[in-house]
Structure 1
Amino acid sequence: MTKEVILSTSRTLPFIVSMLVLVCSSITLAGPFPASIAAWDATTKAAQRTAGVAVLQQIATAVANGDPSVTIAQGDYRFDDVIGSSYTCHVQFTQIENFTIDFSGSTLWFDDARTAILFNKNTNLTVKNFNIDYDKPVFVQGTISYIASSGSELHMTMDADYDDAYNIIGNGGKWRAVAFDPTTQFMKPQVNGMSVYFYFDNQTAQGDYILSYSGFYGVSLQNSGLEVGDRITIMPRVGDGRALKVENNDGFRMENVNIYASPFVAVAANVNKGHLEFSNVNILRRPDTDRLLAGNADGINCASSAQGPLIEDCTLSYLGDDSINTHVPYQRVVWPESSTQMLITSLGYAKSEVDGGDPVTMNFFDRATMLPLGQRKILSVETVYNYLITPSTTIADLDIDPWYSGPAASLRYDATVTVYRITLDKALTLNDDTIATIEGYLGGGTIIRRCEGIGSLARGFRIQTPDVMIQDCLLKNTMGSGISLGGQPHYWGEGPYVTHAQVINNTFIDTNIGSRPDETGEYASLHIRTGGDYTTSYIQHDITVANNRILDSGGSAIIIRGIDELTLADNVIDNYVRFEEPISSLDSSVAGTGFGIVVDQCRGVTFKNNFLTNPGNDAVGEVFTANIIDGPADQELAASDWYSKGASGSGVTTTEVSDASPLSWLSDKPTVQITDTSSSYGASYGIVYNFPTHSTDDDLCIAFDYKILDVGNNDLQLEAVTYNSSDSPASFLMIYRDDNGTHGLASHTNQAVTMLGYDIDPLRWYRIEMVVKNVTQSSRNYTLFVTDDQNVTTRFDNLPFRNAVSDMASFSIHNNSGGTQTGGFVVDNVRVGTLPVSQTNPIYEYEVGHHTANNFIAYSQQSSALPWLGSVPVVYTDTTSSYGIGAGIGYTFTKHETDDLLSASFDFKIGDSGSNDLSVNASLRSESGTNGNFLKLNDSDGAGGYTLANHINSGTTPLNIPIDPTKWYRVEMLVRDLVTASADTYDLIVTSEYGTVYRVNNLPFRFAISDIKNINIFNNSGNTYTGQVLVDNIHVGNKQISDPLVIDSLTNYADPQTTVDNLAFNPAMTEVKLGGNNWKKQAISYTVTADTWISFKFKSDTLGEIQAIGLEEDDVQTPARFFTLAGSQSWGGTIFDFDNYTHQGWQTYHIPIGQYYTGVMNYIVFVNDDDANQASDSQFRDVIIYDK
Structure 2
Amino acid sequence: MNSSRRHTSAAPMEAQSIRIDCPAAGDRRKVSVSEFGAQPVEGFCNGEAFRKAIEYCRQEDISELVVPRGIYRFISGEHPVFDGLRDFRFDGGGSELIFSTAAAFVTIRHCERAVFENFTVDWDWDQEPLASIGRIRQVAEDGLSFELELPEYEGVPKRFDIRTLNPMNPRTLTPGCEGGKEFSGEPLGPVTVVARNALRIELSNAADYRFLKPGQTYIVRHYVYDANGFELQGNRHLRMADITIYSAPGHAFVVSGEQRNWTLDGCRVVKRPGTTRCISATADGCHISNSQGHFVIENCDFSYNGDDCLNIHDNSVQGFERIGVAKLRLSRVFKWRNPFAEGDPIEFRRTDLSPTGIVARIVEAQWDERGEGCTIEFEAPLPDDLVGNEILFNRKYDSGRYVVRRNFFHQNRARGVLLHAGDGWVENNHFYLNQGSAIQIECGAESRWAEGFGAENVTIRGNLIESCDVNHWNMAVIYMGVYLEQGRTRYPVFRNICIEDNTIVNCPQQAIFVSSCNRVFIRNNAIMNSNTGPRKTAEDGDGNCVSNRELYLGSLMVSHAEDVTIENNRRLTIVPATEDGICVDPETTDNVLVRNNTGFGDRSGVDERTKESG
CA distance in 1, matches of 2:349, 2:286: 28
Equivalent residue for 1:569, pick from 523, 528, 534:
523
Equivalent residue for 2:536, pick from 581, 588, 593:
581
Q: TM-score, normalised by structure 2?
A: 0.81
Counterpart of 2:433 in 1: which secondary structure? strand
Using the aligned pairs only, state the percent identity: 17
The Cα shift of 1:201 comes to 6.7
Q: Could you tell me whether the CA contact under 8 Å between 1:48 and 1:77 is conserved in 2?
A: no
Counterpart of 2:271 in 1: which secondary structure? coil
Matching residue of 1:384: 366
Q: Could you tell me whether the CA contact under 8 Å between 1:113 and 1:138 is conserved in 2?
A: no
CA distance in 2, matches of 1:187, 1:70: 39
Matching residue of 1:527: 479
The Cα shift of 1:331 comes to 4.5
Alignment of 1:99 onto 2:81: no
Matching residue of 1:75: 70
**CA RMSD for the aligned pairs?**
3.3
- The 5-angstrom pairing of residues 104-503 of structure 1 reads 104-136=93-125, 137-151=129-143, 153-161=145-153, 166=158, 170-173=159-162, 175-190=163-178, 191-196=180-185, 202-205=192-195, 207-212=197-202, 220-223=208-211, 227-228=214-215, 230-332=216-318, 334-338=320-324, 340-343=326-329, 351=341, 354=343, 361-366=345-350, 368-378=351-361, 380-386=362-368, 410=372, 417-424=373-380, 427=383, 429-439=385-395, 441-490=397-446, 491-503=448-460
Look at both structures and tell me which one has the larger radius of gyration over its CA atoms.
1
Q: Could you tell me whether the CA contact under 8 Å between 2:318 and 2:445 is conserved in 1?
A: no
Counterpart of 2:76 in 1: which secondary structure? coil
The Cα shift of 1:631 comes to 2.4
Q: Could you tell me whether the CA contact under 8 Å between 1:342 and 1:423 is conserved in 2?
A: no
CA distance in 2, matches of 1:200, 1:78: 35
Counterpart of 1:241, as a letter, is: A
Change beyond 3 A, Cα 1:202–1:834? closer
Counterpart of 1:125, as a letter, is: A
Alignment of 1:626 onto 2:585: yes
Counterpart of 2:366, as a letter, is: V
Counterpart of 2:445 in 1: which secondary structure? coil
CA distance in 2, matches of 1:222, 1:618: 29
Matching residue of 1:973: none
The Cα shift of 1:471 comes to 0.7
Aligned length in residues:
553
Gapped runs of 5+ residues in structure 2?
A: 1-38, 539-545
The Cα shift of 1:500 comes to 0.9
Matching residue of 2:552: 592
Counterpart of 1:374, as a letter, is: G
Q: Could you tell me whether the CA contact under 8 Å between 1:570 and 1:608 is conserved in 2?
A: yes
Counterpart of 2:444 in 1: which secondary structure? coil
Matching residue of 1:556: 510
CA distance in 1, matches of 2:138, 2:576: 31
Counterpart of 1:456 in 2: which secondary structure? coil
The Cα shift of 1:163 comes to 5.6
Counterpart of 2:465 in 1: which secondary structure? strand
Higher RCO (CA < 8 A, seq sep 6+): 2
CA distance in 1, matches of 2:284, 2:549: 33
- The 5-angstrom pairing of residues 639-718 of structure 1 reads 664-665=598-599, 668=602
The Cα shift of 1:509 comes to 1.0
The Cα shift of 1:534 comes to 3.8
Change beyond 3 A, Cα 1:214–1:329? farther
- The 5-angstrom pairing of residues 891-902 of structure 1 reads none
CA deviation string 1:252-275 (max 9, x = no partner): 321111111111222222223321
Q: Could you tell me whether the CA contact under 8 Å between 1:48 and 1:76 is conserved in 2?
A: no
The Cα shift of 1:59 comes to 3.2
CA distance in 1, matches of 2:263, 2:189: 40
The Cα shift of 1:195 comes to 2.8
The Cα shift of 1:617 comes to 4.6
Q: Could you tell me whether the CA contact under 8 Å between 2:131 and 2:277 is conserved in 1?
A: no
Change beyond 3 A, Cα 1:667–1:183? closer
The Cα shift of 1:419 comes to 2.8
Change beyond 3 A, Cα 1:602–1:201? closer
CA distance in 2, matches of 1:150, 1:242: 41
CA distance in 2, matches of 1:482, 1:302: 18
Counterpart of 1:101 in 2: which secondary structure? strand
Counterpart of 2:466, as a letter, is: I
Matching residue of 1:395: none
CA distance in 1, matches of 2:369, 2:218: 44
The Cα shift of 1:240 comes to 3.3
Counterpart of 2:57 in 1: which secondary structure? helix
CA distance in 2, matches of 1:297, 1:97: 30
Matching residue of 2:19: none
CA distance in 1, matches of 2:200, 2:106: 35
Q: Could you tell me whether the CA contact under 8 Å between 2:571 and 2:600 is conserved in 1?
A: no
Change beyond 3 A, Cα 1:830–1:535? same
The Cα shift of 1:107 comes to 0.3
Counterpart of 1:119, as a letter, is: I
The Cα shift of 1:609 comes to 1.3
CA distance in 2, matches of 1:75, 1:283: 20
Q: Could you tell me whether the CA contact under 8 Å between 1:530 and 1:563 is conserved in 2?
A: no
Q: Could you tell me whether the CA contact under 8 Å between 1:508 and 1:549 is conserved in 2?
A: yes
The Cα shift of 1:503 comes to 0.8
The Cα shift of 1:433 comes to 0.8
Change beyond 3 A, Cα 1:279–1:668? same
Counterpart of 1:172 in 2: which secondary structure? coil
- The 5-angstrom pairing of residues 484-883 of structure 1 reads 484-490=440-446, 491-515=448-472, 517=473, 522-532=474-484, 534-579=488-533, 580-583=535-538, 585-586=547-548, 591-593=551-553, 595-614=554-573, 617=576, 619-627=578-586, 628-632=589-593, 664-665=598-599, 668=602, 829=604, 831=606, 833=608
CA deviation string 1:830-875 (max 9, x = no partner): 735589xxxxxxxxxxxxxxxxxxxxxxxxxxxxxxxxxxxxxxxx
Q: TM-score, normalised by structure 1?
A: 0.43
- The 5-angstrom pairing of residues 973-988 of structure 1 reads none
CA distance in 2, matches of 1:240, 1:309: 26
The Cα shift of 1:455 comes to 1.3
The Cα shift of 1:375 comes to 3.0
Tell me whether 239-248 or 255-264 shows the greater mean CA deviation. 239-248
CA distance in 1, matches of 2:49, 2:190: 37
Counterpart of 2:379 in 1: which secondary structure? strand
CA distance in 2, matches of 1:96, 1:592: 52
CA distance in 2, matches of 1:163, 1:206: 5
The Cα shift of 1:326 comes to 0.9
CA distance in 2, matches of 1:611, 1:162: 52
CA distance in 1, matches of 2:300, 2:153: 30
Q: Could you tell me whether the CA contact under 8 Å between 1:553 and 1:578 is conserved in 2?
A: yes
Q: Could you tell me whether the CA contact under 8 Å between 1:333 and 1:342 is conserved in 2?
A: no
Gapped runs of 5+ residues in structure 1?
A: 1-43, 84-89, 355-359, 389-406, 411-416, 637-661, 670-828, 836-1141, 1145-1188
Q: Could you tell me whether the CA contact under 8 Å between 1:74 and 1:106 is conserved in 2?
A: yes
CA deviation string 1:26-60 (max 9, x = no partner): xxxxxxxxxxxxxxxxxx98656355543443333
CA distance in 1, matches of 2:418, 2:451: 11
